[in-house]
Structure 1
Amino acid sequence: MSHSVSDHLASPEIDVSTHVRRKRIALAHEVKERPKLYLDTKYWALLRDSRLGRSDCPHLKQLLSVLETRVSEGTLICPLNADIYFEVMKQSDPTTLMATATLIDDLSLGLCMIPMSQRIELEVFHFVEASRKAADEIHEPDELIWTKTTYVLGFVTPDMYEMADDLNLAVQKSFSDFMWTLSLTDMLNVMGPAKAAAKQSPFLDISGELNAGKFANLNEHSSFKSVFLSEVQGILDVYKKEFTGLFQYIYERDTGTSLSAEERNDDSGGQMLANLIYQAFRLNKIEHQLPSIRIGAGLHAALRWDRNRNYKPNDLFDFRHAEAALPYCDYFFTERPLCHLIHDGNLKFADHFDCRTVYKPADALALVE
């Protein structure tokens, strides 16, 4: 790392955020032509059991072999993301946990998505910028969503305030270079299995509350579109604060003017952006932009619209897998209920997104052979 520090001392004009952003863009270009397969947690577990000899399913055994071969040949890659990470960390058996981590390292090669909240913010930022700038002046979301395993939960960096500013910055950039090289098994070896198992998801099971709300309001909407728009509104309400920050960032960047404390407390810009996005969805003006909002709102709407289906505890994780897979990957291997929702006639996600989704191991094998 010391050689990296000396190198970075020569470029104090590049801050650590810019340095990591450049690494992410370079990574995106590196994997751009490689087809991406999103495996949900079920498939990671099935393939792990096949590798450990715990499964006698011939399709899974052959699927694992094909995936290993294609990844080694450079014709496929299976990225990690935070939702897979949290579900994997539920495993309390150290042997099983490390076997899963090793499989993820082997098939992902360290490729990882930024967390869902950051993807939504990135997509909204692109939505705003694309309305103001030429296409060659902005980066597409799929150039900025990729990172490395150690940043699966987001980017963090140490800050040594007692150091001189230039040395502190050089150490931060050098540290990010080092973190860029670490695998999931490296992370688990540092944390230890017990501490890793304590890394549980921050998302609580709210399926009971969702079911209560669904059945208490069955007659509130007369069309699927109405349910969908109510879900869009719910997502926009959650991110209104981030939208305000986005507007303020763009203003300060473009004008070179710092906002006053009073202006910084004004959230009208965030509300205006939320209203704009809502109306764009209402008027069917959104095509391929804002995919995470479309998928999240659509899946919840489809489940609410189906009077015969209840929310299950794992549905929210499954929906988050779909939000990651459909816009940014070529294949998605998942569970049967989610696969059926993706092919739901009201959503038509199978037509809208260029991502082949299956749930049967035999069908999965046929897609990648």
Structure 2
Amino acid sequence: MMSALQRHLGSPDVTLETHVRRCHAALAEELQPRRAIYLDTKYWIILRDIVAGVRTADSEIELLDILRRLVSAGKAFCPLSESTFAEILKQSDERTRIATAEIIDELSLGVSLIPYEQRVAMELRIFIYDQCRDLGAPGPLRLPWTKLSYVLGVIHPHETVFDASTELAIQKAFIDHMWSMSLSQMVDTLGGKQMSPDWHPRLAEQINAGNAKHADELRSFRQTYSIEAQGAAEVFAHMAVEVTRDLQKLITGTLPSVAGDATEAEAVRIWTKMLSTVLCHEKHKSSLPSLHINTSLHASVRWNKAQQLRANDFEDFRHACSALAYCDIFLTERRLMAMATANHLALDRHYGCKVAAAISDALALLHAE
């Protein structure tokens, strides 16, 4: 920390945002030769149990061996996500929780995806800036990778007793320190801390009731997707408004004037309509993968009127958003694989991510790497 602090005291011209961006860019370059293999929590638990000697089947041992070989040979890495992190903290036994974190440390190379909402913001920024190239908009970088300590987002000290330049150096040194922290260190530091009460069961119940009430109104999967896209647009329209404001400041050097709540509401209304329209156009689905994948999976459950949304689906869908959009291989549960690869979604083919649920199928994919 002290050596990093001294170094950063000598570069007060480098902003905190620039330093964080450089860290992410360097990590992306480092990972570029490797294939990203996403394991959902089921597979991390399997690997943990193999290490502990609880699982001893030959195919299971081979799975761990080949993943270790691919990682150590510089061919692959197995990133974490905020969904996996949340599910690890739900494990009540401290010993197995630490053991899970240790195998993740080994195979992830300390790498995680940035949180879901940050990925949506990144995708929106890239999409909107790309539409405004003729106005002088730059091409923002696609930097989805971070370190495990920032799996829930970047944090740093602020409002300290130090002057501005010293506080900036402290912030950048703190980021450097956190950048090297392992998941097992984080889990050990958190001790027995549990996640906040799970609101997913109640939310699933409410959504299922609403879906049942309006089930007779659905005429096609395309229509069902359009309804879900409208809901997604309503949630993230405010984010698109912020992106456009940042872009205007970047191009003109001034922020747009906001006359009041009415102007803000109108901007959100316009972007809600635009986003829902964009999501329904095939050519834009690659530009906004996180929103498209999540919308598709929710629409799939709603269109299959005999299927109920389960509490675990919310985290499973986030796993799918992480894996399908940003990874090359996705090892998951059979139910989620069936949904993602169904012909009317074909998310695996659309994003070029191979999906497997059974260990035998996972081995076949890994042996081909």
What is the TM-score when the length of structure 1 is the normalising length?
0.94
> Paired residue for 2:293, among 292, 295, 298?
295
> Paired residue for 1:204, among 190, 200, 209?
200
> Cα RMSD (Å) of the superposition?
1.9
How far off is 1:284 after superposition? 3.2
TM-superposition CA deviations, 1:106-134 (whole Å, max 9, x none): 01011011110111111011110111228
Please name the residue that 2:130 is paired with.
130
How far off is 1:88 after superposition? 0.7
Question: Would the aligned equivalents of 2:246 and 2:255 in 1 still touch at CA under 8 Å?
Answer: no
SS in structure 1 of the partner of residue 77 of structure 2: coil
Equivalences for residues 64-103 of structure 1 within 5 A: 64-103=64-103
The range that moved more, 322-331 or 15-24, is 15-24
In 2, distance between residues paired with 1:110 and 1:284?
35
CA separation of 1:326/1:136 partners in 2, compared to 1, >3 Å: closer, same or farther?
Answer: farther
In 2, distance between residues paired with 1:295 and 1:201?
26
Please name the residue that 2:276 is paired with.
278
How far off is 1:231 after superposition? 0.7
Question: Would the aligned equivalents of 1:50 and 1:64 in 2 still touch at CA under 8 Å?
Answer: yes
The range that moved more, 213-222 or 94-103, is 213-222
Please name the residue that 1:348 is paired with.
346
Question: Which contiguous aligned blocks of 4+ residues in structure 1 show a shift greater than 6 angstroms?
Answer: none
**AA matched with 2:116:** M
In 2, distance between residues paired with 1:25 and 1:264?
37
Please name the residue that 2:162 is paired with.
163
**AA matched with 1:161:** T
> Paired residue for 1:254, among 243, 251, 254?
251
Please name the residue that 2:325 is paired with.
327
Equivalences for residues 166-185 of structure 1 within 5 A: 166-185=165-184
SS in structure 1 of the partner of residue 284 of structure 2: coil
2:192 equivalent to 1:225 = no
Please name the residue that 1:186 is paired with.
185
Please name the residue that 1:360 is paired with.
358
In 1, distance between residues paired with 2:256 and 2:306?
51
Gaps of 5+ in 1: none
Question: Would the aligned equivalents of 1:247 and 1:270 in 2 still touch at CA under 8 Å?
Answer: no
**AA matched with 1:311:** L
In 2, distance between residues paired with 1:202 and 1:165?
40
CA separation of 1:58/1:16 partners in 2, compared to 1, >3 Å: closer, same or farther?
Answer: same
Question: Would the aligned equivalents of 2:200 and 2:311 in 1 still touch at CA under 8 Å?
Answer: no
The range that moved more, 26-35 or 125-134, is 125-134
Q: Percent identity?
A: 35
2:226 equivalent to 1:239 = no
Equivalences for residues 18-29 of structure 1 within 5 A: 18-29=18-29
In 2, distance between residues paired with 1:298 and 1:67?
30
Gaps of 5+ in 2: none
How far off is 1:257 after superposition? 1.5
**AA matched with 1:63:** L
**AA matched with 1:216:** K
CA separation of 1:203/1:151 partners in 2, compared to 1, >3 Å: closer, same or farther?
Answer: farther
TM-superposition CA deviations, 1:30-73 (whole Å, max 9, x none): 10120000000111111111111111332111101111121111
How far off is 1:285 after superposition? 3.6
In 2, distance between residues paired with 1:153 and 1:324?
14
How many residue pairs end up in the alignment? 364
Question: Would the aligned equivalents of 1:244 and 1:271 in 2 still touch at CA under 8 Å?
Answer: no
SS in structure 1 of the partner of residue 263 of structure 2: coil
**AA matched with 1:229:** S
The range that moved more, 328-337 or 42-51, is 42-51
Please name the residue that 1:56 is paired with.
56
In 1, distance between residues paired with 2:130 and 2:186?
38
SS in structure 2 of the partner of residue 159 of structure 1: coil
In 1, distance between residues paired with 2:102 and 2:283?
44
In 1, distance between residues paired with 2:207 and 2:227?
14
What is the TM-score when the length of structure 2 is the normalising length?
0.94
TM-superposition CA deviations, 1:2-42 (whole Å, max 9, x none): 12112111221221122011110110111012000000011
Question: Would the aligned equivalents of 1:49 and 1:55 in 2 still touch at CA under 8 Å?
Answer: yes
Question: Would the aligned equivalents of 1:9 and 1:166 in 2 still touch at CA under 8 Å?
Answer: yes
In 2, distance between residues paired with 1:266 and 1:337?
44
SS in structure 1 of the partner of residue 302 of structure 2: helix
CA separation of 1:54/1:136 partners in 2, compared to 1, >3 Å: closer, same or farther?
Answer: farther
How far off is 1:263 after superposition? 5.8
Question: Would the aligned equivalents of 2:200 and 2:314 in 1 still touch at CA under 8 Å?
Answer: no
2:312 equivalent to 1:314 = yes
In 2, distance between residues paired with 1:303 and 1:294?
14
SS in structure 2 of the partner of residue 36 of structure 1: strand
